[in-house]
């Protein structure tokens, strides 16, 4: 089984394009490097054109040179097999013509994008909202929501709060025992020092 080169969609790929001038007495000048993806079944159907890189490198007869070429498959590409073509254009100084030479022409596999695109985020958000709505509706049908509301209301109403002389409420949990003793002693002293009311004569 042939292992295909794998390209993650949305991630930059690097290729080394080599070229050798095998024509005697012909000087070549590499002017462009390009690449594109086509359908595996229909080679004339271009799926994506990659960026064109301009050069002006002279290659003498018998010399070999290489170029670094980077390209990025579209992150929205369907994960499947494609045909990748990488090549360069060179100018012949004798014939004064420009030719295209293929450096790579084979099938590659494009995988899912390694990055999270906005469409994927929106899909997950929609699924989360649908799941949350379904869970709330189910809890409402089973009476779980009403049970939580009743429990919360009962817990808040059962709290003991005392009211002071000025009508201000306070929580006895925050009052120390020393303050209670001082309060009782003060009440006893006030009750003993206050004059008793005289009875009216008939």
Residue 33: pLDDT band (50, 70, 90) is very high
Query: Given this model, what pLDDT does residue 181 score?
Result: 75
DSSP 182: H
Say if residue 133 is in the same domain as residue 39: no
Average pLDDT, the chain: 78
- For the chain, how many structural domains are there in total? 2
> Is 80 exceeded by the pLDDT of residue 62?
yes
Domain-located, residue 67: yes
Domain of 72 in residue numbering reads as 6-111
Given a contact cutoff of 8 angstroms between Cβ atoms, the answer to whether 118 and 47 are in contact is no
- For the segment 161-176, the average pLDDT, to the nearest whole number, is 54
* pLDDT tens digits for range 114-128: 655 556 566 656 766
* pLDDT tens digits for range 71-111: 999 999 999 999 999 999 999 999 999 999 999 999 999 99
| Predicted TM-score of the model (pTM) | 0.56
Residue 151: pLDDT band (50, 70, 90) is low
Which of these, 70, 34, 87, 32, lies nearest to 54 by C-alpha position?
32
CA 175 to chain centre: 52
- Residue 90 sits in a domain whose CATH number is 2.60.40.10
Residue 178: pLDDT band (50, 70, 90) is confident
Q: Which residue has the tokens 């013509």?
A: 97
The full DSSP string for 59-111 is E-TT-EEEEEEEE---TTS-SSEEEEEEEEEEEETTT--EEEEEEEEEEEEEE
- Reading phi first (left if > 0) and then psi (alpha if -120 to 50, else beta), residue 25 is in left
Query: Given this model, what pLDDT does residue 19 score?
Result: 94
Domain-located, residue 172: no
Pairing mode, strands 6-8 and 98-111: parallel
Rounded CA-CA distance 163/93 in Å is 105
Say if residue 76 is in the same domain as residue 104: yes
Rounded CA-CA distance 101/19 in Å is 9
> Is 90 exceeded by the pLDDT of residue 32?
yes
Say if residue 67 is in the same domain as residue 90: yes
- For the segment 148-171, the average pLDDT, to the nearest whole number, is 55
């Amino acid at each position: 089984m042939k292992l295909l080169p794998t390209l993650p969609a949305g991630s930059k790929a690097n290729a080394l394009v080599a070229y050798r001038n095998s024509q005697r007495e012909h000087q070549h000048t590499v002017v462009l490097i390009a690449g594109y993806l086509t359908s595996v079944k229909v080679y004339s159907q271009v799926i994506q054109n990659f960026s064109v890189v301009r050069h002006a490198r002279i290659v003498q007869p018998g010399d070999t040179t290489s170029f670094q070429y980077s390209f990025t498959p579209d992150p929205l590409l369907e994960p499947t097999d494609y045909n990748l073509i990488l090549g360069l254009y060179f100018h012949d100084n004798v014939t004064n013509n420009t030719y295209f030479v293929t450096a790579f022409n084979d099938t590659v596999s494009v995988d899912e994008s390694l990055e999270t695109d906005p469409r994927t985020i929106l899909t997950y958000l929609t699924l989360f909202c649908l799941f949350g709505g379904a869970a709330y509706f189910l809890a409402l049908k089973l009476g779980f929501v009403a049970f939580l509301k009743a429990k919360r209301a009962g817990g808040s109403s059962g709290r003991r709060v005392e009211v002071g002389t000025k009508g201000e409420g306070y929580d006895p949990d925050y009052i120390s025992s020393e303050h209670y003793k001082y309060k009782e002693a003060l009440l006893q002293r006030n009750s003993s020092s206050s004059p008793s009311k005289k009875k009216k004569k008939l």
